[in-house]
Structure 1
Amino acid sequence: MKSTSEGKADISYESVGKFEETRFEKIHNKIFKNASEASLIVAREIAQLIVSKQAENKDCILGLATGSSPIKVYEELVRMHKEDGLSFRNVITFNLDEYYPMKKENHHSYHHFMHEHLFNHIDIKPENINIPDGTILIDALKQYCIDYENKIINAGGLDFQLLGIGRTGHVGFNEPGSHINSGTRIITLDYITRVDASSDFNGIENVPKRAITMGVSTILKSKRIVLMAWGQNKADVIKRTVQGDISPEIPATFLQNHDNTTFVLDQSAASELTRFKTPWLVQDCNWTLELKCKAIVWLCLKTNRSILKLTDRDYNNNGMSDLLALEGSAYDLNINMFNVLQHTITGWPGGKPNTDDSNRPERANPAKKRIILFSPHPDDDVISMGGTFSKLIRQGHDIHVVYQTSGNIAVTDEEALKFAEVCNDFVENDATKIDFQSVIDFLNNKSENQMDSLEVRKLKGLIRRRESYAAVRYIGLNESNIHFLDMPFYETGLIKKNPIHADDIAIVKEIIEKIKPHQVFAAGDLADPHGTHEVCLNAIFAAMGALKPESFMKDCWLWLYRGAWHEWEIHEIDMAVPLSPEEVMLKRHAILYHQSQKDRVMFQGNDSREFWVRAEDRNKHTAKLYDDLGLAEYEAIEAFKRFDY
């Protein structure tokens, strides 16, 4: 792509589809497979703009964002500086926002974020860095904000503005109710915004209630705007922003008025757009089996009919006449899809011995399978598939649960202090290799932003480990089949984790080689607030990919579970495991053994329910959907998708 000095991009985010596919969309957008691929493209546009400005001997004025969305963009810009010689000597930056009050040295500050991820690694002049100051006295704030606006104007205006988007639809910290003519100002943060930030601050009570932000008007004056959004959590607000009416209740919709804006999205963030959610309403479709299933499930829910009761008129009146013509009649189509969904249901997740398995999700042989259940955190196993876990044990399979991280960061200081005080009363120090009095002293005197000591992290990890032992003992697994990997990427002592490393992959690869499984279950739910699930899953993908030539891997199937954050949609499910009321209760009690995660969930994301409640509600909701479609009625269902690695 090319960027001219006037800021108009000769966009190589090439058109995403024909007009009829995007006719509901009011903002140009480009969809990428993942955030990494998309971030490279955005970084290249910024780099080309910088270079073109250098050629004209002009400054390049960038508006920059914080949060998780732009991190990979900044990583690529740093790489281009170090490896390709990209200079930032002509760059002047203005950040969108900052919490208020907030000291610059606080690791939650956006001043700290920007220097950590970008400014400390490039040759930008310090005097060219502008970030709202969270320490300005309240009486001086109004004039400070006016001066910030004037500084942008005097620099020549923003050539390029990088944006993320919050679940409230905020850009910068322009929360619902912000006016299109608003300028830089102090604002009160929406409760949802504070909830979303709470995991970074170890609790919503620690999240500032106010912030300084550029205004909507300031942003709209930018010559070029790119907004990035990743993940399922952003899908709803992206749909409302791209397809909805302009409204101050969704401040990002004001971007519909800007003639040089592109939304850069991954597939999950774009998933609620009409052309992805219900493509049969906007275009002719290539009717794959999965798309047929998706469409017919949608049609059943829309018409409030079960599959076998759908009529020709239902199909014709809801944009699916071409599918009906292809299949011949609603009767044949309904029967075929009913059978497809019926065949996903099994009470034998490891395969039912001595049966015809041609229409079953798992193989009958070998009758007794070696199984690895990977759990990113020490409770994901029981939260997401506790019922299936217990069935596999009862049905005689050799199942090994493998906890990939210690989970120590999710134990509150208060919980750790309680355990330390108990241990200090009853246990000699040399027996446990933890100096509990030092732990007590540390926690009682811990300051804001202070990293946990090694002793504290060891204790918190031990708490999670012992809770895991108790939970799986309750389900019925022998302790010799429990493994703790303590993957190195996680052990930073901070909420922020390290990138995946070869050592992480090697540890996962070693346990797979040791067990030689016929089945691997892994967390396919990538919506956890800090990305631990994604890193753990990528390590499994890499390890299994490296092992693929091995003979034992030819008989190994990979099943992905969800449940803690989002559940698979019906059309995505390859195996649905029904749970009895007794199994639902068993699963609940197993989850409750993770006592440190009860009542006060540190990283609950945008769902305020405790994990046992969300898991139970989602399992029951899946069962109800199957019932509504006309299939058997169950108390609850755990769902899995097979992945071809």
Structure 2
Amino acid sequence: MNPTVAPSTRMPTLIFPTSTDAARHVATLMAKMIRENNASGVPTVLGLATGSTPVGLYRELIRMHKEENLDFSRVVTFNLDEYFPMPKDDSHSYNRWMQETLFSHINIKPENVHIPDGTVKPGAVADHCERYEEAIRKAGGIDIQILGIGRTGHIGFNEPGSPKTARTRLVTLDPVTKRDAASGFFGEENVPQQAITMGTATILEARKVILMAFGEHKAPTVQKAVENPPSESIAASFLQEHSDSTFILDAAAASDLTLYRRPWEIGPVVWKPELIRQAVIWLSLKVHKGLLKLSDNDFREHHLYELLREHGPAENLGYRVFQDRFQTIINHPAGNDPKRTILVFSPHPDDDVISMGGTIIRLVEQGHKVHIAYMTNGNIAVFDHDALRFTDFVESFHRIFQLDQQNTSEVKKRVTEFLKNKKPGQPDTDDVLKIKALIRETEARAAALACGIPPEQLEFMDLRFYRTGTIAKNPIHPQDITDIVNLFERLKPYQIYVAGELSDPHGTHRLCAEAIYEAVRRVRAKKQDFDVWLYRGAWEEWEPHQIEMAVPLSSDVLDRKKEAIFRHQSQKDRAMFPGSADKREFWQRAEWRNTQTAQLYDQFGLPEYYAMEAFVRWKDA
């Protein structure tokens, strides 16, 4: 897959359609160097990163090793960082993560693996860091350094304010970094305060640097790193000064670049209808005028003279986009004919009502049969105290009604004993995971009922890729896709709705979407077809020029939607994984997002509604 080269950046930036395409590209580059060095009898020194970003890269390298005989026996590795203090066998240790994710699957020699040691005594950290630097020098320096980027712009754990001259050292983590890591530790309070990290200077000495970034949540930071001048506030921006560094992005992470936000500022463009709509809407918001109030001077003063010359005057352009956006307002999202079957996919047991609860209510009111498929059980997002509370409830329930008290008491004893001695971030036992899954399932049934959907129209799929009991997820299992295909064939839906928001902090939405898309391709090959609409949820909303269907919601419907969200009590008040720096509850975010979309339409001069839920149609690549 040939990437798009971003022309507006201050350093080479390649954009791939998906993170999978990007990972394959980087793996191919690394494999080429390894093979060339192996043939010459010299080692290849790799600088490696951890986290969700390089997982696809490591899986592709493992595939190359097993299927294409890629030999790692001469490879030497140096990892970027490690939490401090951190035992090597801890489930959160980068040492353990690297062993489980990559090293145990390839033929690398243990003595060639180097990872900062989170077990050294505090007084010995400085000496350990100096020896780490010396080991890199003795290895001949790093040939290829792989990086991710944090929302603070950090590379490794070089947080804002880190100087360009910094070497391997002990650092204190930024609050934003701790918040982003909280999901893996089951709570921000469990994230270590410090970490040992390679310094910016060490990273910049690598002969080749590749930074990978995927997802919409990385887009604002990526834009600052590659389009703004180098600054200590964004450590990744120092890569602009490296002689051979490249940003490798998926389309989502590149979405804030000028190439996509305002391509007309870069150079001549072909004014297709989609780009005309984007430019006119951008101008309307920029000058705070309705679409029908835009003037020729507005276009001239904001780099849109060519658009005005080719498709003007302003009156025509404003009216054209006004009519286009007016057509997106749909009061009957499944059409006027009742009794159609609608299938809503919900990655977690609350995404349906958070993201499109109002539209679900509308569909039910309009006589359609709405099914909801909960793709994962969401059990890792339940607090321990909720598991204890429900365990206590069940035991009391059985005692009052003289049911199976002995087995219930034994389960309660096991659960209570485990949770009493549970270490911060320790994965749950099967007992606890089952209880937490049951909590999410009963909440989902209650929320669906608040929308008018009976329990028999709910599908709890419990897809296999999610069944790890930890934040890290397995690849999509082939049977997961088959299960979705079977659901399509059984229900024969008129429409399906899919979570198109890929910024969720766990990556579950992305994996669910990929599985659904593949299933859709398979049934379409069998001549079964239906409309596929994408919604967004708690973290992002579609840009106004992207929206293809906006469903108006009254204040009463929005109140019912919030009531459905409230039924997810384990996620109320304080969610285990709220995502981003937004401290508002999910219902507050949803209410704000829906009313904000309606206000945008009002600003354009379109009909004024209380709230709106927005969708785009999925177009297969």
Contact 1:350 1:369 in 2 (8 A): yes
Contact 2:3 2:15 in 1 (8 A): no
Matched, 1:483 2:459: yes
SS in 2 for 1:255: helix
Q: How far off its partner does 1:436 sit?
A: 3.2
RMSD, aligned α-carbons: 1.8
Given residue 16 of structure 1, which amino acid in structure 2 is its aligned partner? V
Matched, 1:53 2:29: no
Corresponding residue of 2:576:
602
Given residue 592 of structure 2, which amino acid in structure 1 is its aligned partner? D
Contact 1:421 1:440 in 2 (8 A): no
Corresponding residue of 1:621:
596
Q: How far off its partner does 1:232 sit?
A: 0.6
Corresponding residue of 1:563:
537
Corresponding residue of 1:375:
346
Question: Relative to structure 1, is the Cα distance of residues 437 and 15 closer, same or farther in structure 2, using a 3 angstrom cutoff?
Answer: closer
SS in 1 for 2:154: coil
Choose from 498, 501, 517 the match for 2:474: 498
State TM-score, norm by structure 2.
Answer: 0.96
Q: How far off its partner does 1:583 sit?
A: 1.4
SS in 2 for 1:544: helix
Corresponding residue of 1:362:
none
Separation in structure 2 between the aligned mates of residue 430 and residue 546 of structure 1, nearest angstrom: 46
Separation in structure 1 between the aligned mates of residue 501 and residue 398 of structure 2, nearest angstrom: 39
Within 5 Å, give how 1:334-483 maps onto structure 2.
334-351=318-335, 353=336, 366-427=337-398, 430=404, 435-448=411-424, 450-483=426-459
Contact 1:96 1:214 in 2 (8 A): yes
Corresponding residue of 1:520:
496
Contact 1:424 1:437 in 2 (8 A): no
Within 5 Å, give how 1:75-90 maps onto structure 2.
75-90=59-74
Q: How far off its partner does 1:431 sit?
A: 9.0
Q: How far off its partner does 1:448 sit?
A: 4.5
Separation in structure 1 between the aligned mates of residue 108 and residue 130 of structure 2, nearest angstrom: 25
Corresponding residue of 1:584:
558
Corresponding residue of 1:73:
57
Within 5 Å, give how 1:105-504 maps onto structure 2.
105-351=89-335, 353=336, 366-427=337-398, 430=404, 435-448=411-424, 450-504=426-480
Choose from 618, 629, 632 the match for 2:607: 632
Given residue 248 of structure 1, which amino acid in structure 2 is its aligned partner? E
Corresponding residue of 1:3:
none
Separation in structure 2 between the aligned mates of residue 589 and residue 13 of structure 1, nearest angstrom: 47
Matched, 1:542 2:518: yes
- List per-residue Cα deviations over 1:152-209 (Å, max 9, x = no partner): 1122111111111111011110001111111110000000000110011101001011
Separation in structure 1 between the aligned mates of residue 471 and residue 281 of structure 2, nearest angstrom: 39
Gaps of 5+ in 1: 1-11, 354-365
Q: How far off its partner does 1:577 sit?
A: 0.8
Separation in structure 2 between the aligned mates of residue 150 and residue 542 of structure 1, nearest angstrom: 48
State TM-score, norm by structure 1.
Answer: 0.92
Contact 1:281 1:318 in 2 (8 A): no
Query: Percent identity, aligned pairs only?
Result: 47
SS in 2 for 1:199: helix
- List per-residue Cα deviations over 1:514-568 (Å, max 9, x = no partner): 21111111111111112211222222212222111455x34x2111111221111
Q: How far off its partner does 1:388 sit?
A: 0.9
SS in 1 for 2:211: strand
Separation in structure 1 between the aligned mates of residue 465 and residue 216 of structure 2, nearest angstrom: 24
Given residue 444 of structure 2, which amino acid in structure 1 is its aligned partner? S
- List per-residue Cα deviations over 1:309-347 (Å, max 9, x = no partner): 111121122222222222242111111110100010122
Question: Relative to structure 1, is the Cα distance of residues 27 and 610 closer, same or farther in structure 2, using a 3 angstrom cutoff?
Answer: same
Matched, 1:16 2:5: yes
SS in 2 for 1:383: helix
Contact 1:13 1:30 in 2 (8 A): no
Question: Relative to structure 1, is the Cα distance of residues 150 and 550 closer, same or farther in structure 2, using a 3 angstrom cutoff?
Answer: closer
Q: How far off its partner does 1:600 sit?
A: 2.2
SS in 2 for 1:427: helix
Matched, 1:573 2:547: yes
- List per-residue Cα deviations over 1:258-286 (Å, max 9, x = no partner): 11111111111111111111101112222
Choose from 469, 485, 497 the match for 1:509: 485
